[in-house]
Amino acid sequence: MTAAPAEVRRILERYLVEVVERYALCPWARPAREGGELAVGILWGAPELGDWIALATQLLAAPGVHVAMVVAPELAIARAAFAALRDRVAAALLSAGIAEFHPDAALDLASPARLVPFLRRAPDPLLQLVPLPILDAARAVGATPPTASIAAQSAMLSGRAGAPRPGLAARIATANHAVAAHHHAAIAAAIDDIAADRAAAYARAGITARR
């Protein structure tokens, strides 16, 4: 499985570039990815709670890391169960804001908040973590934070923990809702294409994709 980690990261990057960045779902997404302050860790099989906590802690402790993503490419788990797992990890890691991304979510344009799960349809279940001091800095800086942009990116994508000032969060959520109203078919097509790429690539790399 020497190619497996590279394939997991490649598939995740497709989601970040072709969905989040292409449709400007977050104004800071590209600087965050290209700035080298995003750390990605992989958990194989069906990890236990302690595995999530240990790897997240390790990633966040690395120098220069402002955002950590812990991915479980072989995990078969329902979205509600994964949200419950996220809550258990958050209870253990009180120093970080945590959001879950899951590949299964229907489009719901009823409100900006109800759209969030659809926009967080990452190829694999993953938890995104940002240290609370960085989130606090994002709140203080506001709409165009030069030093806390990565934290602001995470907060906007999370739709849950530690978002910057409500006015900014509401504006971005409303803008994303408008974008999705016009482009949801193209966004869904991109997500589906990435999922097909994932299935083929994981089979070649020997990754047991259980869903």
Longest CA–CA span in the chain (Å) reads: 46
The confidence band for 144, taking pLDDT boundaries of 50, 70 and 90, is very low
Residue with tokens 């400007």: 24
Calpha distance 194→74 (Å, rounded): 16
Considering the entire predicted model, what is its pTM?
0.83
Task: Please report which confidence band the pLDDT of residue 20 belongs to, taking 50, 70 and 90 as the band edges.
Answer: confident
Mean per-residue pLDDT of the chain: 85
* pLDDT single digits (tens) 90-123: 999 998 889 899 999 999 999 999 999 999 999 9
Say what the pLDDT of residue 2 is.
Answer: 66
Residues in CB range of 116: below 8 A, 6 or more apart? 159, 173
Phi, psi for 196 (deg, rounded to 5):
-65, -40
